[in-house]
A and B are shown apart, each in its own frame.
Chain A
Amino acid sequence: MDRRFPFKVLEHIFSFLDVNEDRNSVSMVCKSWFETERRTRKRVFVGNCYAVSPLKVARRFPKMRSLTLKGKPHFADYNLVPDGWGGYAWPWIEAMAARRPLLEEIRLKRMVVTDECLEKIAASFRDFKSLVLTSCEGFSTDGIAAVASTCRKLRDLELRECIVDDLGGDWLTYFPETSTSLASLDFSCLDSEVKLSDLERLLSRSPNLKSLKLNRSVTLDVLASLLRRAPQLVELGTGSFSDELDPEEISKLTKALSELKQLKSLSGLWDLLPEYIPVLYSVCPRLTSLNLSYATVQMPDLIDLLSRCSKLQKLWVMDLIEDKGLKTVALCCKELRELRVFPSGADLDETDVTLTEQGLVSVSEGCQKLESVLYFCVQFTNAALVSIAKNRPNFRCFRLCVMEPFAPDYRTQQPLDEGFKAIVERCKDLRRLSVSGLLTDKAFEYIGVHAKKLRMLSIAFAGDSDLMLHHLLSGCERLKKLEIRDCPFGDTALLENAAKLETMRSLWMSSCFVSFGACKQLSQKMPRLNVEVIDEHPPKTRPDSSPVERIYIYRTVAGPRQDTPEFVWTIHKNPEVGVSRLSIR
């Protein structure tokens, strides 16, 4: 007797599932659940654009309204992936345009997006609402103009840290005079000036605009006028904050900012001058997110500002904050969940910046809700790491960048093994970890044993031998992304743990000791992995023993990709090597 739920009932139940991980699990129960789930999924996420073909994705999810894609590996952010490697958005845009014209949202990260892509988006999706490009490149302001002018229902247009061929500020004029739907606009990564009058008019007719992030070319003297036209803003990224204002202008700006009653997030603040800090006082008490990465003010001024931000949950700041400033944060910002401290290069200005491990210890003591940290520091100690771990077992993301490679604990001269051991032992929910400083294989043994929920791990200049990799691949059960640079391990660990790689999204290794022969072997052994050897200057001949510059390994059901450049080697480029020795285990 057929005991299955009627399709409609199942469909209704599944409509409550919005986490894709749950949906993935649900779709593996049985065929009818798979079918029902796929017909109801609206938001599709593809973590590696080469893991699956665009066509398959388009076919599988007929109700797709939102597509998120990621292209290049994370280390591309730090120039470790040569230009031209890949990550092209076009095949995806083309496939969706043909099959899913009702698509409303496209979010791309680290992909190559051309003006052609943007024009295709504009032309193909009549209800298109949201375009969010993060760390993308390959397009110009012409492409942006195409989207702005054609997508009548455009709600979000966000360019986050993209590299754009900036042909001028005209693109802003392409928003039709009749469009009033804009809710989020981020052009902070563009260089050129937009015309004030165009921007003012756009703001005036966009009552739904909640998030506005200006670029540095928008000068301080016009900010007040802009803000008066958008008092409903929840997120504001200012332009430059260093131009000279007369007292009247300052007073107008202060008033305009105080009118932003809903403002929760503040960023931009390029070259913030200390004398303008009082202007921000009125918004501080409401702020939950503050990005001071470009605010070049010193510690006393930062304290002045931060001591007023009692509701702050997210703080990004430069090391100019120093230990003393972080102590203030620990005292005043009790709601803090995320902290990022970036290096300012201040030592080059001959200014004394005392940011040490103590700063992070203070914050870990004072901020009970702290769960995500990115901290750049010159050197560190095991004792500090142990304290931090004791104070904050609730870390989910812990990224420490000790900037001096191989730096041991500067007090004891020991490796930082014990410190990171404390972190992984205590922080049972740790999902993301970046390690640095002097580390031996022991550190990775600890990580393998304790970091059971770890999904992403980044390692640089660490370890002693193959054991390091072996510990990680055999220990970290939930590991999905592993990226390693400049570590002395080689082939054995990689080949022994080959099966693990199919359970992961990707593995990146650069400047390690992996030989070309091992790459070939791995490719032959694991047909469902794409093993890419990326050598910027590929040698004419490659003996099996020669070490490779970079390897990028990822699981895929799409087979070998067809768009590899010259400098990417895969086994499929040498079919005579691959086919004859394919072994199926």
Chain B
Amino acid sequence: MELDLDLSLSPHTNSSKFGFCFDLNKHCATEGMLVEVVHYEKTKQTRFESMFWLDNMEEDCYVPKPCSFSLNGQPDEEDEDPLESDSTIVDDEEEDGEVVGWPPIKSCMTKYHNYRHSRNHPYHHHGRRINIPNPTATIIGLRPSSSSTSSPRSSMYVKVKMDGVAIARKVDIKLFNSYESLTNFLITMFTQYQNCDREDTSYKFTFQGKEGDWLLLGDVPWKIFAESVHRISIIRDCPCAYTRLLF
């Protein structure tokens, strides 16, 4: 069951009836504000509260406060040690958790696109799910199969950072059905254009779930992982041209 959350949601929604968690990969920009789309899947109310600093949470009613979120800031976070980050949410006005200024479209046009997709547009279809990120900031991510534009609605993009690679990537977890397929794909993706011998290196995969803890891949069953993974980090044992520049 899914609920579309927007600014005019009735305050009488009974939040205790439905559990919910936030799919942090989806959010939309409405006239410059970001509002999360909520998927009701789990009963994790307290976690919801703490993540989104909603002060006025009451048993029977809530009005979501529009606040700006980003996932993790810019993808080229070579300075950030994933094991030390203490928060899954970085408040950053500029970032939608996606790349700044990409694709390179001028602000007058983005402004227009936002307007088109907003509620104020005369041809906005009411009742449809509002799930439209800023069109300047969509990374579709590499897919193991070719072409077809996958709709971002049924996908779950997760940021993957490999040790020694400046630019983090995003992958759609929903395209995989096992740890093996995921890890193989990730290794291929990252080593594709680097001078690392795949055979010689050992990779350690860790992931960060919604609660913020870092776990090893395989610690939880795939299904649970696929629903709760928020970030993935890959550490590898391979001297690479980049690592010397990072330290």
Contacts and interface: CB of A to CB of B under 8 A. Distances in A.
B159 interface: no
Nearest to B246: A547
A222 interface: no
B155 to A, nearest CB: 12
Nearest to A74: B104
B149 A378 contact: yes
B193 A401 contact: no
Contact of A79 (B76, B94, B117, B146): B94
Determine which residue in B135, B136, B169 has the highest number of CB atoms from chain A within 10 A of its CB, and name it: B135
A270 B111 CA distance: 13
Interface in B71-92: 74-76, 78-79
Nearest to B141: A404
A348 B131 contact: yes
B19 interface: no
Contacts of B75: 486
Nearest to A466: B241
A75 interface: yes
Contact of A401 (B74, B78, B104, B132): B104
A154 interface: no
A135 B169 CA distance: 32
B123 A78 contact: no
A293 B138 CA distance: 19
Contacts of B100: 78-80
A296 B121 CA distance: 12
A85 interface: no
| A135, A438, A513, A515 — most chain B CB neighbours (10 Å) | A513
Nearest to A406: B142
B151 A350 contact: yes
A77 B109 CA distance: 11
B109 A293 contact: yes
Contact of B101 (A78, A294, A349): A78
Given A271-B123, A378-B140, A78 B105 contact: yes
B222 interface: no
Nearest to B149: A347
A242 B105 CA distance: 24
Interface stretch (A14-22, A200-208, A226-234, A337-345): A337-345
Given A80-B101, A345-B117, A410 B147 contact: yes
Provide the main secondary structure of the chain B interface.
Answer: loop
Interface string B114-132: 0011000111000000011
A79 B101 contact: yes
B191 interface: no
A399 B183 CA distance: 35
B166 A513 contact: yes
Contacts of B78: 547
A488 B132 contact: no
Contact of A410 (B112, B146, B166): B146
A460 B102 contact: yes
B103 interface: yes
Nearest to A135: B106
A569 B101 CA distance: 23
B101 A348 contact: no
A354 to B, nearest CB: 9
B135 A348 contact: yes
B104 A438 contact: no
B53 interface: no
B122 A345 contact: no
B150 to A, nearest CB: 9
A458 B103 CA distance: 13
B152 A404 contact: no
Dominant secondary structure of chain A at its interface with chain B: loop
Contact of B166 (A293, A488, A515): A488
Contacts of A404: 139-142
A78 B75 CA distance: 16
A464 interface: yes
Contacts of A189: 108
B151 A347 contact: yes
B103 A345 contact: no
Residue from B79, B102, B139, B246 whose CB has the most chain A CB atoms within 10 Å: B102
Size bracket, chain A contacts: 35 or more
Contacts of B121: 271
Contacts of B105: 78, 342-343, 376
A296 B193 contact: no
Given A345-B132, A379-B147, A242 B122 contact: yes
A44 interface: no
A80 B102 CA distance: 10
B96 to A, nearest CB: 12
A511 B102 contact: no
Given A79-B100, A348-B131, A438 B193 contact: yes
Nearest to A163: B107
Contacts of A488: 166-167, 242
Interface string B158-183: 00000000110100000000000000
Interface in A523-558: 545-547
Interface in A87-144: 135
B76 A486 contact: yes
Contacts of B131: 348
B99 interface: yes
B194 interface: yes
B106 A78 contact: yes
A547 B139 contact: no
Given A271-B123, A376-B103, A511 B116 contact: no
A405 interface: yes
A401 B94 contact: no
A86 interface: no
A271 B147 contact: no
A440 interface: yes
Contacts of B151: 347, 350
Given A403-B140, A405-B102, A511 B135 contact: no
A271 B118 CA distance: 14
Given A350-B151, A378-B140, A411-B146, A511 B76 contact: yes
A387 interface: no
Given A407-B142, A486-B75, 10 more contacts: A75-B104, A78-B105, A78-B106, A79-B107, A294-B112, A348-B131, A403-B102, A415-B193, A486-B76, A515-B245
9 contacts: A78-B102, A78-B106, A344-B113, A345-B113, A345-B132, A376-B105, A460-B104, A490-B245, A547-B246
**Cβ-closest 6 pairs across A and B:** A78-B101, A345-B135, A511-B76, A78-B104, A403-B103, A348-B132
